Structure 1
Amino acid sequence: METPDDIFKRMKAFRDKDDAGGAGAYVEATETREIRDPAFHRDLARVCEDLGLIPRAVLEYNLSLRDQPNQAAVLKRLAVIYQDQGQTEKAMRAWQQVIPLAPEDEEPIYELGLLFEQNREWESARNLYRDALERTKNPKFQKFLKEIEYQAKTQQAVESGELSPEEALLSPTEAQLIHFTTLFSGREAVYARQWVSPTGNAGYTPIHEPLTILVAKNHILGHHTIGVYQLRLDNTVNFIAFDIDIAKAALARGITDRKIWERQVKEAHSLACRLLDIAAGMELPLYLEDSGFKGRHVWLFLERPIPAKAAKRFAEGLAGQLPPPPAGVHLEIFPKQAYVPGEGLGNLIKLPLGIHRKTGRRGVFISADGQPFEHQLAYLDKMERVKKEKIFEAIQRFFGPAPSPGAEERATGAAVPAGPSIPGPELVVLKPVEEYKPDQDLQLQFLLGSCEVLNLLTRKIFEEKELTNEERNVLTYVLGHLDKGPEAVNFFLSQTVNANPSMFLKSRFQGNPMSCPKIRSRIPHITSKADCNCQFDPRLNMYPTPLLHLHGLQQPGALAGDPAKLSAVKLQQIVKEYIKIKGEMKRLQVLAEGLEKTLIEVFKQSEVQQIPTPVGTLKMLTSGEGKPNFIVEI
């Protein structure tokens, strides 16, 4: 049986070869149950999470608990994994074990209470909050208790007519129904139907059927009320939403006092309008909905699906621009999860234009002054969808480059818990990314000009703001060997929304860079678009890798001697580069001529002699033959 040291040495060997698949296969094939070492199992579980082997990570965390029970940190990690996967029962059991081990930590109480309430286990939630109140004396738990006690009063308020009655029924066309199902499409082949019990409890039941136009029509006509599970099977989303409503701690008071209720709804509405203003300043269209019960939904629709991880990051960033919500107002973002693996469904959100079963009120889109739009479905048809590039730009604006790991330790002097100890390049950032200027890195620019694959890969970063794991590995294990490899890698990773600080490099890689055949096997969707068939000088006697392009850069005087002595391979490279440059010059010339024609018309019609800009002043002069010429003064 292999020892822990043997296993981590093998893992290091796989990492040095950039073989994540081999590392995963090795871990899956390695039996570790006989090893009695809680720290080993805990560290291996973290490695498994990094490799995406979540079931194996769960096993290793449990083996760590077997060897050393009652580890609060390990139990919390298990609870989070179960909760992210939608395994509610297991998550609740894990949180229940954490609470007595960390009595001063209120997070497990909040998380467990939320799960109890989502499952409508009111008695369990009541006991949890009562015990927490006695132990911590935190008045928040008293408010939670009051909210549970007043659950039944919500239904009574609806039946007594204290809440607004149902609005007039709508008459959707087939085209409008198709548009509705397109805008709000989520998890494939399943949606949720809202229900309310005779005692006033409410919830949703998953319906494992497609969201068809007939389902949408029945929702709009008020026959039933539906919600969607936002994350699709590939963990992407079509929309982003914010739920701003009366907090559960304040709900009880509002139900029994109409004036308090109206004030709280007004505060929720004001916060939602503030969110609209912030987004408008970034040219991002948001749409405001009266949810039909205790607050507002704010919607943003996407032109194309984007990863839920990016959508969640954007929502967190936009919500972070708001001032703290007033007392009694609560804000939630959707999506709540970055991914929902397996058969999990994740969180759902009620769709607009349907009737809230608890109040009998319809959820309608409203203006900033709180008035419903007269033609709801026509208004829906005019809603704009946001390009994914705008979302990625906003994320960069909110958060900037990924933070340097260890920054918190340097700022506070506190030690940051370490992960598994596997030798190799230390994955932290040495310098702020801003200090590195890629356009001044001669090696990098020469390489990107010579290797079309790397050129396409870096262009993808700026266009899509995201890399897959394989694309990131190619970038890292090629550029990481340059003289300024860590700076180059860290710069490009900082431009993506899915880079983790642990992926950043501190030191330059030694040894062999990734080969061209391996690159083609890892990212065929990129290499198939490029002319990935470079011929390198056989006299170099090295396996093919993009870094061989730098051999010409290392001999800047190569062309100063006898051109007849150039190798055939080198000559082919020079001709190829020359043709590419000439083609680019031709393209730019055509583009410039088109712009000049437009500018000539602008100068003539406006009768101006010059146009100042932040980068210089453009002047138009007319020659003796009447031909206009442009002069740029910097």
Structure 2
Amino acid sequence: MNFKELALRAEENLEFEKALEYFEKAEEELSVEDGTLIRYGELLFDFQKYEIARKVFEKIVSKQPKKEYLLRLAEIYEEISMLDKALEIYEKLNITDRVKNIKEQYETTNPRRTILRKFLELFSGREDVFAVQLNDGTYRPIRRSINFNDVKKHISGKTTIGIYQLKKNDEIKFAVFDVDIKKSFLENNKNTYFEEAKTVTLKISSILSQYNIKNYIEFTGNRGYHVWFFFDEALSSYKVKVFMESILKNIHLEESIGIEVFPKQPTLNGGLGNLIKVPLGLHKKTYKKAVFVDQNFEVIKNQLDFLLKIEYNSKEHIESLFDEIITDSVQSYNFQKTTYKKRKNTSIKKELVKSLEKDNLSEFHKVISNCHVLYQIIQKIKRDAYVSEIEEEILIKSSIKAINGREQLIEILKNTINFDYDRFKKIEHQVGEIPISCNNIRNIIIKYNLSLSLDKCLCKFPGYNTPYSFVKDFDEIIEEFSVEEIVKKIIEKTSEKFELEREIKSLKKILLERMGENTKMTVGIWTIRKNGNDIEIII
């Protein structure tokens, strides 16, 4: 059976799959001279059998090195990632646009050390951990510092990296506005919503430029855009956060668009901190590349060369903008509920102190001046015009029950840069009738690793132990409680007691095992004595 003839006939009848099958069987009879080997090679290329096509076209160009055959071989080399071979052909044929393209592709898989170093300098975050994105879009922490090899894999698309932004000292080297289309709006008119996202992104970029801040737009590979800006030196996270949130006040948002600022938090408080996916990697859910774009949202050519051109903003410049915002905030606030005239040399600290010293004999001021924890929070507000959300919660829950406590708290907190009235109301609603206890305050401080000293927390009031006890004794406080609130509090405390007793029981069991046959032992100032299946600890 003449398979060569059958192949040619099948090709004429447009039965290409059958023709390929016959050509494969007649391969030894095919030649360049009669064109059959070339027709076989083209069919292999069309059916994406690139490895066999490579061998066929290498044979073809060895006999007839025509430009058209060389170009086809170069295309095959590209498909099977033999970029050095493809580059050799394009350079030989002087096809400059393909040479440039191949060099860019090659750079992506084998980036220069200068690029890897610049990448690590730009996206410098938490020192001891980074994250890898999984196929479902979630992230897995990797508990070590990021290295060149990790960046190579990220740029080549083998893995996708996320950076924990805050360093251990709560400082940052970059900041990002994250502009996204809300998930609920992705079903219909997606193009319209992307145009809205672009409008917001350009507005943010324009405002930053007006502040003389160099910034860069990235398509995230999913629902929106990032606006990045970088610092020559690490600086306080909360200062950058305050500055970024002040910009958001000038941004009009359509219902379909959401914005997040990175940093999301001013301090780590013992956690890993907020995480953000960095550019030049594949989004594992969409398999789209995250790339830098220009002001027309066109992808910038040669992303890695562009990376080298990214410029830093000075730490001093950002801090000066922060100082201006604080000064403007204090000067614009009316402490006496009359028009407040701006004065160039107004001192933030003086104004806050004046506010805090009013009515110094009131219940509110007795509570915050006598409780050591609350005193530290107030001092922080005086010093920084800032307080963390957890510290704010402690302050509100401890003192809002005082006469005019609500009004005086608002007056003080409105002078903090991150004050949010909706958040204030939410915390106020949580307070109920019974103020927070001293024990709860201590537990919160320990849980969130707050920088508040507990050394002087030695207060012991008769009855219910709370900072509010500085102004009212237990009998007066309890008269204000409803039966329902008392029942709720008893249930809450019983639950805490049960958990505490369970932990003590577990620790005693461990201690019994450690003592072995001993019935008594001394450790420091304590004498430990077995009492059946229980332990007595005597000082």
Q: Given the two structures, how large is their TM-score scaled by the length of structure 1?
A: 0.37
Q: Given the two structures, how large is their TM-score scaled by the length of structure 2?
A: 0.43
Q: Which of structures 1 and 2 has the bigger CA Rg?
A: 2
Q: Which structure would you say has the larger RCO, counting Cα contacts within 8 Å and 6 or more residues apart?
A: 1
